[in-house]
Amino acid sequence: MKAIILAAGYATRLYPLTENMPKALLKVGSRAILDHIMENVTRIDAVDGIHIVTNEKFYQDFLDWKKESDYDIPITIYNDGTTSNDDRLGALGDLKFVLDQAGISDDIIVLAGDNLMDFSLRDFYDYHKAVDGNAVCVKEIEPEDTSRFGIVLMDETNRIIDFEEKPEHPKSLIGAFAVYIYKRETLKLLDEYLKAGNNPDAPGNFPAWLCQRDSVYGYLFDGNCYDIGTHDAYNEVQELYKDR
């Protein structure tokens, strides 16, 4: 399995913090968000390579981070060549970029570089192996939060039968988070998705499309996943992690 970390956004909502610093390298507690992610994902024994995609603006920052890191796993940093929100590839465009650049043909775990998880990714991997299918991390959310999430419906086996990004009229209170595992056989379907002109931006758009064509299971995790998209969200995780 390969891990792909999507970190090519410009995080304009967090300016001035992210005007000259990529969001994934902001400190939470004593460590960068990216280091928290790395610590979690490297506990999956099957993961034998980490692929991180960023942009032209922050490419050197990630190279510097890699140089100062001491992880016992191969790490590759990719520059998607974009310079602003106006020409960004989008999360799924960046995923396709990495798959092509690296020639990946293994199962993959895909993570957003600005999501901080306090649950075990190894448990998520074990679930994926048990169901032998594509999988998405999901959790029950509050009714007032449904407009911020992809909302899923699952059958009795936790297979996702409906997935809608940020619906006006949600069909459930089960929200999907930006943590995915895709089987190697599924990767060719990302090509099909993008060539059909579908939205390359939000990562949840692909599993929403995929669940109508292939099995996608919802992993109900026990814990929290913090999307650090605003100053309030960043301040919240800073407070939670200040003593860690």
Residue 129 pLDDT more than 80?
yes
**Residue 88 domain flag:** yes
Q: What is the CATH number of the domain that holds 12?
A: 3.90.550.10
Following DSSP, what letter does each residue of the chain receive, concatenated?
-EEEEE-----GGGTTTTSSS-GGGSEETTEEHHHHHHHHHTTSTT---EEEEE-TTTHHHHHHHHHH---SS-EEEEE----SGGG---HHHHHHHHHHHHT--S-EEEEETTEEE-S-HHHHHHHHHHHTSEEEEEEE--GGGGGGSEEEEE-TT-BEEEEEES-SS-S-SEEEEEEEEE-GGGHHHHHHHHHTT---SSTTHHHHHHTTTS-EEEEE-SS-EEE--SHHHHHHHHHHHTT-
Q: What is the mean pLDDT of the chain?
A: 93
Asked if 230 contacts 26 with a C-beta cutoff of 8 angstroms, the reply is no
**Residue 156 domain flag:** no
Q: What is the pLDDT of residues 176-228, one digit of tens each?
A: 999 999 999 999 999 999 999 999 988 989 999 999 999 999 999 999 998 88
Orientation angle between helical segments 187-195 and 91-102, nearest 10 degrees = 130
Total domain count, the chain: 1
**Residue 104 domain flag:** yes
Closest CA to 8 of 100, 111, 106, 101: 111
Backbone angles phi and psi of 60, in degrees to 5: -65, -35
**Residue 14 domain flag:** yes
**Residue 117 domain flag:** yes
**Residue 183 domain flag:** yes
pTM for the model: 0.94
**Residue 164 domain flag:** no
Which domain, by its residues, includes 97? Answer: 2-132+178-200+227-241
Asked if 105 contacts 184 with a C-beta cutoff of 8 angstroms, the reply is yes
Closest CA to 115 of 139, 134, 143, 97: 139
Q: What is the pLDDT of residues 33-81, one digit of tens each?
A: 999 999 999 999 999 999 999 999 999 999 999 999 999 999 999 999 9
**Residue 139 domain flag:** no
Q: Are strands 216-220 and 134-140 parallel, antiparallel or unpaired?
A: parallel
